[in-house]
Structure 1
Amino acid sequence: MRFREFLLAVLVVGAGAVPASAQEVPVDRPADQPVKAVVELFTSQGCSSCPPADEVLKTLADDPSIIALSLPVDYWNYLGWKDTFASPRNTERQRNYARARGDGQIYTPQAVVNGEIPVNGSSKAAIEQAIDETSKSGGPRQVPVRFWQERNTMNFALGADASGHAPREATIWLGVVQMSGSVPVKDGENAGKTLTYTNVVHELIPVGIWKGQPMQVQLPRAAMMQADVQKVVVLVQEGRSGPIIGATMAGLW
């Protein structure tokens, strides 16, 4: 059974959100390095403009305060090369962002910063400007997210909303990530090139709803472990395609 179907089955039979305990839990990301930005790059092996953006994302991933994710899309597959990492769910996520913004802008390479601002993924300056702008409202620092692993389980806990904040709900997205992957492209716009990708999202699915109160999610480790996957990412996002207000990413062992 594939990760998506298996994880959904696990959630249906009872593993899921529970109230968070007051006890402190281990944190994979040091407290002095909070996540200031989530950068999602919608890219494609069939897009000749994308390799420079893939390189930009790699440099962003070197910053421990940035969660930099590659989300390969499938809508350029007709150009002569089928993207080996592409997923229709990544395409759907990009389209949902465009619908939520109301601008209809869907292209590659497109980076979406903190779920809010779309920019050209090849422009590091534009991405950094978007990070600065979205950080004014707190960005992913608004909701603390802690992740830890035990022998048979993986756990993450979400903190409460800021005191006095208007009631809001957010989708909890859980994803599995391949740290790096190189692909020799044999046809299409990038024929003859070997392209390298950073933090490739294999799956990103909703696993719960955060309603402003502390909560904890526990899942069996078997739900996460699959070939080529080395990291897990958790995103807390207003609605399903709104601002990202909490996030963490950690390695699997």
Structure 2
Amino acid sequence: MTRNDKIAAVVVSFLITLILYYFLIPNRNWLGKPYLETAQNDGFAVVELFTSEGCSSCPPADKLLEKIQKESNGKKIYFLAFHVDYWDHLNWKDSFSSEQSTSRQQQYSSWMNRTLIYTPQFIVNGISEFGGDDARKLYSLVADALETKPAAALILEAHANKQQLELNYETNIIEKNTSLFVALVQKQATTEVKRGENEGRLLHHVQIVRQTHTLSLEEKQGRLVVPKPENFNTTDWEIIGFLQDDTTGAINAATKATFN
């Protein structure tokens, strides 16, 4: 066998491996799991998914979000699914979509100097992003975030009354151009899609962002009062808060609210 023949054989072998990986191996998402299993827990990861029931590429990303959530095993990973509204005019309106979710994705586009927004899109800790449902990429980014010590600490306590949620926050550092971002999250829901690209599919969602609120930080301690959703309860919902740099989008601390 000549040297050129050997090179050709290596190239053909590599191409065959790629074909097997992308087309013939079922459930290849397991390839990302070791990143999470071996990651340290010194830091945290905020995983934001921009998605829509009207997008045929989104259900695999929704499933990936659910999968990594189930495998997080108590690590400091906070999951948020933002349903955007720019798909709503294409035969199916996502009942969880909102203009606020679209605006947040547009803000990330500005922070990251992107010209377009799209779904599905994952963003980790406000600084790393990718499109699609690449499990290895997501698990790797989350593992890197978990091994990075946070720049600040955050405590968030909540109290629910009949019409409002009272949130008390405390942090140890106040940086310039920093805001407290709070998301009210419905843990799961199911939708039967009757029109559009996902017509006939039963879609299961997790960590659906239903409300967001932002407070510019001037003190290390403070209070934020927000409307309570009609069906809110502490079993099926949770509140996630984090400190975010208003100029770069970087997230410097994150936590879940504890209820008094």
Is the structural similarity TM-score above 0.5? yes
Give the one of 58, 81, 104 matched to 2:92. Answer: 81
Structure 2 counterparts to residues 99-248 of structure 1, below 5 A:
99-134=110-145, 138=149, 141-150=150-159, 154-161=166-173, 167-210=175-218, 214-217=220-223, 219=225, 223-228=227-232, 230-239=237-246, 242-248=249-255
Q: Find the residue that maps to 1:78 and give its secondary structure.
A: coil
Structure 2: tracts of 5 or more residues without a match:
1-39
Distance in 2 (alpha carbons) for counterparts of 1:236 and 1:79: 35
**8 Å Cα contact 1:121/1:127 also seen in 2:** no
Q: Distance in 1 between matches of 2:228 and 2:158?
A: 11
The residue that corresponds to 1:96 in the other structure is: 107
Partners in 1 of 2:52 and 2:89 — Cα distance?
A: 12
Identity of aligned residues (%): 28
- Could you tell me how far 1:240 is from its partner in structure 2? 6.2
* RMSD (Å), alpha carbons: 2.7
Deviation at 1:40, TM superposition (A): 0.5
Q: Which amino acid in 2 is paired with 1:95?
A: Q
Structure 2 residue identity aligned to 1:110 = Q
SS of the residue corresponding to residue 111 of structure 2 reads helix
Q: Give CA deviations for 1:20-39 in whole Å, capped at 9, x if unaligned.
A: xxxxxxxxxxxx97761001
Contact kept in structure 2, 1:177 and 1:199, CA below 8 Å: yes
Instruction: Give the aligned residue type for 2:216.
Output: G
How many residue pairs end up in the alignment? 212
Contact 1:42 1:72 (C-alpha < 8 Å) held by counterparts: yes
Q: Which has the larger radius of gyration?
A: 2
Q: Which runs of 5+ in 1 are unaligned?
A: 1-31
Alpha-carbon offset, residue 146 of structure 1: 1.4
Structure number with higher helix proportion: 2
1:23-71 deviation line (CA, Å, top 9, x unaligned):
xxxxxxxxx9776100110000011111111011112223232101110
- Does residue 61 of the first structure (1) align with residue 73 of the second (2)? no
**Could you give the per-residue CA deviations for residues 54-101 of structure 1, whole angstroms, max 9, x where no partner exists?**
011112223232101110011111221111110011011101101111
Indicate how the Cα distance of structure 1 residues 205 and 34 shifts in structure 2: closer, same or farther if over 3 A, else same.
farther
Structure with larger RCO (C-alpha < 8 A, sep 6+)? 1
Q: Which range moved further: 112-121 or 92-101?
A: 112-121
Compute the TM-score of the two structures, normalised by the length of structure 2.
0.72
Please, which moves more after superposition, 43-52 or 127-136?
A: 127-136
Superposed CA deviations along residues 192-227 of structure 1, whole A, max 9, x for unmatched, are: 0111111100111212325xx63232537xx33532
How far apart in 1 are the matches of 2:108 and 2:211? 17
